[in-house]
Amino acid sequence: MRTWTRIAGMFFALAVLVAGCAPPPSPTSSQAPGAPSPQRSTALNRVVAGIPSDPPFVYNKLNVGGVGGQGSALQELTHVGLTNYDPRGTLYPRLAEAVPTLDNGLWKLLPDGGMETTWTIRPNATWHDGTPFTAEDLVFTARVVQDRELAVFRHTAYESIESVEAPDSRTIVVTWKRPFIEADAMFAQELAAPLPRHLLEEAYAESKATFTELPYWGREFVGTGPFKVKELERGSHLLVEAFDGYILGRPQIDQIEVRFIADETTLVANILAGTVELTLARALSAEQGGQIREQWNDGKIEITSDDWYVLYPQFIGANPAVITDARFRRALLHGTDRQQIADTLEGRLSSITHAIISPSRPQYKEIEDAIVRYDFDPRRAIQLIENIGLTRGPDGIFRDAANQRIEIEINTTRLDAHQKMLFTLTDQWPRIGVAVDPVVIPPQRAQDAEYRAIFPGFALQGHPAEVIRFHSTEARLPEKNFRGGNNSRYMNPDLDTLIDRYFATIPKQERNQALAQVVRHMTENTVPLPIIWRVDPTAIGNRLQNVMSKGPDATQAWNSHEWDLRG
């Protein structure tokens, strides 16, 4: 899960439909590091979870496209950073003793306009192989993620860093050239998740070209989290086992098997049959959640909403070229009956999204007036397309000056909800004179970064609503091996300046003003085409205790060390 959605995304719980789960402990209620584990039964406590994809990497930064949503859960099971987020978007300490704040003096604003953030690593923190976790690991991590030859690790936040130093083996100090509002999340799950220097430094020095191809990132992953990798079989499963040396105490669960079940219908069947008792990350549609709720007596469905369904237009090599015309994209939004999509596909639990900030967010009132809205109005849509200079052919589809039909490819993944939304658009857009060529990405292309980057028309995805995705530094370009969060490859220096200003503005009122300008640019220029907020059901078996909601920055695995089994 991505750190930026704490600011630009949304999170709200809608329902917990079956009672009986014990009150969950707070993140700070975990067993103290070094305390003796409670007496345990010799029987193996084992949980089987399921996800509808096949992530090739445990370190999620390397996963591509929609697979990353499930891959984030695998990383949270096996790896923690200095700090991590809970589902409410609160940052709390993990390997570090405390989260840097202005109040505790670990986050300092410097006279020259820069900042300094300091973390102290907990005593006895170790990697899964027993090697001590030290500040030198974090210095090495910073060197890797800031390396321009390894663009897959890059993030615009790193442009604000002046230096990363380790005064001693348990202290790490980051000096920032300018303010950055997420500085306290450095070395968390998404922003420079820690790397083991003792395992990777030699390979990094020898060959950067093959660095991301090491077995370490997958089946030989060594992390710091509550569970360690025992098996990883592509197309089959990931098996993890409890890490006795976890800094917050050994997990109560001995083993978790995460099965990779690409077909969602098969995943539902496994849940109803009792062979899978937990889904992780984005796994089920609202319709599937309703089906399970009605038929599954051995568990419950918990529903959250923290992502949006969005159409990413292609801005490099678009075909037809009219896609890059903002007037045309505005027409497409006017021609999309998003309320029908919400009612039909999300069981009336969702709502239309007009901008990247949800009405449930506290800053929404400050940016609401900046939103440019496009209500459903087919006549207006047709008028806008005609004003561009396109003319309708005898089949009702618009044609360009060369008499070529305006037919747009929309691709999406095999997720059930994605496909249903895709075919709804295939039905709606021809009514305003725009033909649709629907493309469902086959599993063998899901991890093909180049293929996923150079789509000709639109990519339909369910993604965290993150402002940072639209920065030029996140564009999926050849020199970055087509990696990054900017699916549209929209690169606009004016928007970059606004985004940079937003992330560098500490006072809340001024920050919200900067965010309003970002929202205005994005909605006025229809950079993405927002559809609806995503309803996200999770299946949780009755045996499981303390499994809590996921959120914008956390999967269910955020507190997996606290999970337990009844009886």
> Residue 482 has what DSSP assignment?
T
pLDDT bucket at 45, cuts 50 / 70 / 90: very high
Q: What whole-number distance in Å separates Cα of residue 148 and Cα of residue 481?
A: 12
pLDDT at 27: 41
CATH of the domain at 211: 3.90.76.10
- For 210-279, the DSSP string reads TGGGSGGGTTT---SSSEEEEEEETTTEEEEEE-TT-TT---S-SEEEEEE---HHHHHHHHHHTS--EE
pLDDT at 561: 95
Q: What whole-number distance in Å separates Cα of residue 531 and Cα of residue 528?
A: 9
Who wins on pLDDT, 280 or 138?
A: 138
Q: Is residue 261 one of the residues assigned to a domain?
A: no
Is residue 224's pLDDT more than 70? yes
The dihedral over CA atoms of 561, 18, 309, 158, expressed in degrees to the nearest 10, equals -20
Q: Helices 286-295 and 264-273 sit at what angle, rounded to 10 degrees?
A: 20
pLDDT bucket at 15, cuts 50 / 70 / 90: very low
Mean pLDDT of 87-100: 92
Residue among 155, 516, 174 at smallest CA distance from 371: 516
pLDDT at 418: 86
Residue among 55, 449, 57 at smallest CA distance from 217: 57
Domain that holds residue 372: 306-534
Burial class (CB in 10 A: 0-12, 13-18, 19+), 442: exposed
Identify whether residues 377 and 497 lie together within a single domain.
Answer: yes
The structural domain count of the chain equals 2
Mean pLDDT of 413-423: 85
SS3 content of the chain, % helix, strand, coil (to 5): 35, 20, 45
Q: Is residue 132 one of the residues assigned to a domain?
A: yes
pLDDT at 70: 64
Q: Is residue 74 one of the residues assigned to a domain?
A: no
Identify whether residues 311 and 173 lie together within a single domain.
Answer: no
* Residue that the structure tokens 């060529």 belong to: 437
Identify whether residues 208 and 310 lie together within a single domain.
Answer: no
Q: What whole-number distance in Å separates Cα of residue 264 and Cα of residue 151?
A: 33
For 83, phi then psi, to 5°, come to: -140, 160
Who wins on pLDDT, 137 or 549?
A: 137
Residue among 523, 473, 517, 54 at smallest CA distance from 267: 54
For 330, phi then psi, to 5°, come to: -60, -40
pLDDT at 428: 97
Q: Dihedral of CA 451/495/1/183: which sign?
A: positive
Boundary (domain end) residue, out of 184, 215, 246: 215
* Residue that the structure tokens 């009132």 belong to: 365
Mean pLDDT of 367-385: 97
Give the contacts of 347 (CB within 8 A, at least 6 positions apart).
286, 287, 290, 535
Mean pLDDT of 291-315: 91
Boundary (domain end) residue, out of 173, 195, 215: 215
pLDDT tens for 513-526 read 999 999 999 999 99
Mean pLDDT of 343-370: 87
Produce one character per residue of 477-515: b if its CB has 16 or more CB atoms within 10 Å, e if not: beebbbbbbbbbbbbbeebeebbbbbbbbeeeeebbbbb
pLDDT bucket at 40, cuts 50 / 70 / 90: very low
Who wins on pLDDT, 539 or 264?
A: 539
Q: Is residue 201 one of the residues assigned to a domain?
A: yes
Is residue 23's pLDDT more than 50? no
